[in-house]
A and B are shown apart, each in its own frame.
Chain A
């Protein structure tokens, strides 16, 4: 049981390049999330998917797109990277079986945009 996995771990991009961050979970969770974490800003929600086939914007969606490929996988795409997108990106999935929707995080992707 690997939990939430993310690829790649590190990435350096040039301004204007595109890339896709991959996330997968093996916990059979319905909901999945993408966050970014910047120094002094805390964790901010980019997009989330409450169930397979649905996606919704979070607090900071501009410059990103997402795809909920199936129940296990949720990808984040940067179409034209900008230096302001330099950050650490975390994927999470959540389980409501305890009556409270608890989120579990992947190890993160560190992205540097030059």
Chain B
């Protein structure tokens, strides 16, 4: 059974700081990794995906992948109160189905 582990949080950061969200996975065959943001009472929305070792940047968001350590992270620069949400990490082994972590709650205080 594949597992994706995330600290449930909450992770509290002040406005303007860098928020660092982490995720580990159990399947060495995992190929692609996704970060979704989910506001309370809403559906998950895709932030970005990564499949190569290293960093991938998209605006204020940077995803980092280390396949040797089976570790994925999401950095949010210049955090805003509107970034307060639950962040879901997910992986796929190359087929269409995803395995999700339970999510980390992020709270950004003004």
Contact = CB atoms under 8 A, between A and B. Distances in A.
Interface stretch (B42-50, B61-69, B75-83): B42-50
A107 to B, nearest CB: 5
Contacts of B32: 100-101
Interface stretch (A14-22, A37-45, A76-84): A37-45
Contact of B43 (A40, A58, A108): A108
A94 B98 CA distance: 11
Nearest to A4: B43
A44 B90 CA distance: 11
Contacts of B96: 31, 48, 50, 94, 96, 101
Contacts of A96: 96
Contacts of A58: 97
A100 B49 contact: yes
A102 interface: yes
Interface string B91-108: 010011110111100000
A42 B102 contact: yes
Contacts of A104: 46
Interface residues of A, number: 23
B21 interface: no
Nearest to B31: A100
Contact of B101 (A42, A100, A102): A42
A60 B49 CA distance: 25
B85 to A, nearest CB: 14
Contacts of B51: 100
B25 interface: no
B34 interface: yes
Given A42-B88, A43-B88, A103 B100 contact: no
Interface of B: 32, 34, 42-46, 49, 51, 88, 92, 95-98, 100-103
11 contacts: A58-B97, A90-B44, A94-B96, A100-B32, A101-B95, A102-B34, A102-B46, A103-B46, A104-B46, A105-B45, A107-B43
The 5 closest A-B pairs by CB, nearest first: A42-B102, A105-B43, A43-B100, A31-B96, A101-B96
